[in-house]
Structure 1
């Protein structure tokens, strides 16, 4: 849609686990029988203490390790917005090393950015979400066949608006949307923007795909009629990518770019549906 304009990350991570991930446990030599020739002198290995993998202290605001905190790039105070975001996050995104949702949430007041994690959302299990979906001022950012450009939506109502954004890869986002009838109640909208994704440390399906944070930044700027909001929300993402690239990460071109320039190194899929998606990407047809 993570390049969403379905709001999702690409399939790749692209980041450096060394800065973002857990401290790694040092591997112990494989236990070998003391009676074997390779086991001489190894009898005491069983008694060695096992190192516990410890997670480095994280910043309470941006969620990054304290040594690489991005708070200097966040707004001093949460942005004053009337629009509320509901981020529907696929469980696989929750533990990704390089995520944009924590940075997005850090830019906004707590009551203006709510994150719900899961694949299935029933009316009985999520009564608040069901109520939000039935509100006439709720929009869902999902570029389906019937989606309207957000710029063309009549926003004259004085009541606050809600925007639902699905956070996951394209396939994850499509699965969540198709399997949850609640998300087909709000008006579908899409972004018509010339903005190219700056989330260059993860692979996006097409050149036009944006990450969840980027989608939210553009949408909030439109809803609030304030272009500076986009610049403010994008700043921590730019800092994150810059840091990762300085420490060895590589720029990830979109799958569309790789296919069109003969740089796609993976074998073509045998699955007809996946092969059709690749053909559409190569011919610049919306998928």
Structure 2
């Protein structure tokens, strides 16, 4: 029996045997339980306590249904029935670049995450996931050392960011490190602004020529990419191997296809919904949020 059903029976039994305080007349119904009980005869209180303990005892004897979780694949982290391993590279891709995914804690509970697919496609140690909102020298010495490394890049768009495609490869044998923030766009912005470590490396961004294939999740604009898509594009550029992007995106394409075949809907970007007048959610009242939404579409006030 599920917990909610048990609690229903418990409350019903207690109301029937001990009385419901909401049935008291007059101002007594606003008194605390101790005030009401003090007006009852001591024998009545003792009997009520005994009957309540009997109710709890009966509930403890009821069988508990243990729901077993679906067995999951060790490599891709998906349930075995919808395993995506056939779409992953046969062997982890050999790359010299090391990815550091700083992940917002809320991303851990999302069912359709892309980071596990990314980690499963790369060799151990080439995709390190660090979960948290705040990172510092004291708590994250390894990440701090990486941020101070001159060969480290942080992938985050902005006015100070240089297009990764335009960067000339340094004549050095040292491998690159790339830091990518994993979260919603508001979460990523908060993490970037509130962590001074992320402003130490060279800031880079991808050219706005890519369109997201992660169509089962709503994005702010058509050009916003998932973490897996960002990593795939960045690795293909830094490693100078365009085939990397295609290999890393294959499991994402399979994931979206499977979800769409089983009832999922294509999620258009917020930008597209606003442009076509199909945005159905209430408009925000906060001026900062309104301005942000106005920036999604040109020459239109909301």
TM-score normalized by the length of structure 1: 0.85
1:52 and 1:270 map into 2 onto residues whose CA distance is 45
Following superposition, the deviation at residue 28 of structure 1 comes to 2.6
Following superposition, the deviation at residue 123 of structure 1 comes to 0.5
Is 1:53 the counterpart of 2:92? The answer is no
Task: Compute the RMSD of aligned alpha carbons.
Answer: 2.0
Is 1:207 the counterpart of 2:187? The answer is no
Following superposition, the deviation at residue 262 of structure 1 comes to 0.5
Is 1:263 the counterpart of 2:278? The answer is yes
1:97 and 1:147 map into 2 onto residues whose CA distance is 31
Following superposition, the deviation at residue 283 of structure 1 comes to 1.7
Structure 1 contact 214–234 (Cα < 8 Å) conserved: yes
Following superposition, the deviation at residue 193 of structure 1 comes to 4.4
- C-alpha offsets along residues 198-221 of structure 1, whole Å, 9 cap, x if unaligned? 111110000100000000000001
1:193/1:275 CA distance change after superposition, 3 Å: closer
2:66 and 2:188 map into 1 onto residues whose CA distance is 36
1:97/1:35 CA distance change after superposition, 3 Å: closer
The answer for the alignment partner of 1:159 in structure 2 is 174
The answer for the alignment partner of 1:28 in structure 2 is 5
The answer for the alignment partner of 1:14 in structure 2 is none
- C-alpha offsets along residues 2-46 of structure 1, whole Å, 9 cap, x if unaligned? xxxxxxxxxxxxxxxxxxxxxxx686362122885xxxxxx8983
The answer for the alignment partner of 2:149 in structure 1 is 135
Structure 1 contact 200–252 (Cα < 8 Å) conserved: yes
The answer for the alignment partner of 2:77 in structure 1 is 63
The answer for the alignment partner of 1:189 in structure 2 is 204
The answer for the alignment partner of 2:96 in structure 1 is 82
The answer for the alignment partner of 1:217 in structure 2 is 232
1:203 and 1:33 map into 2 onto residues whose CA distance is 47
The answer for the alignment partner of 1:105 in structure 2 is 119
Is 1:233 the counterpart of 2:245? The answer is no
Structure 1 contact 133–182 (Cα < 8 Å) conserved: yes
- C-alpha offsets along residues 152-189 of structure 1, whole Å, 9 cap, x if unaligned? 11213221001000000111111111111110000000
1:284/1:197 CA distance change after superposition, 3 Å: farther
The answer for the alignment partner of 2:183 in structure 1 is 168
For structure 2, list consecutive stretches of 5 or more residues without a partner in the other structure.
17-54
Match of 2:5, SS state, is coil
2:209 and 2:185 map into 1 onto residues whose CA distance is 20
Structure holding more helix per residue: 2
The answer for the alignment partner of 1:272 in structure 2 is 287
Match of 1:28, SS state, is helix
More displaced stretch, 181-190 vs 156-165: 156-165
Match of 1:33, SS state, is helix
2:299 and 2:148 map into 1 onto residues whose CA distance is 35
Aligned length: 256
1:99 and 1:164 map into 2 onto residues whose CA distance is 18
The answer for the alignment partner of 1:144 in structure 2 is 158
For 1:37-52, list aligned pairs within 5 A.
Answer: 46=59, 47-52=61-66
Is 1:178 the counterpart of 2:178? The answer is no
2:201 and 2:270 map into 1 onto residues whose CA distance is 31
1:64 and 1:99 map into 2 onto residues whose CA distance is 10
For structure 1, list consecutive stretches of 5 or more residues without a partner in the other structure.
1-24, 37-42
1:52 and 1:271 map into 2 onto residues whose CA distance is 45
Pick 1 or 2: higher relative contact order, CA cutoff 8 A, min separation 6: 1
TM-score normalized by the length of structure 2: 0.81
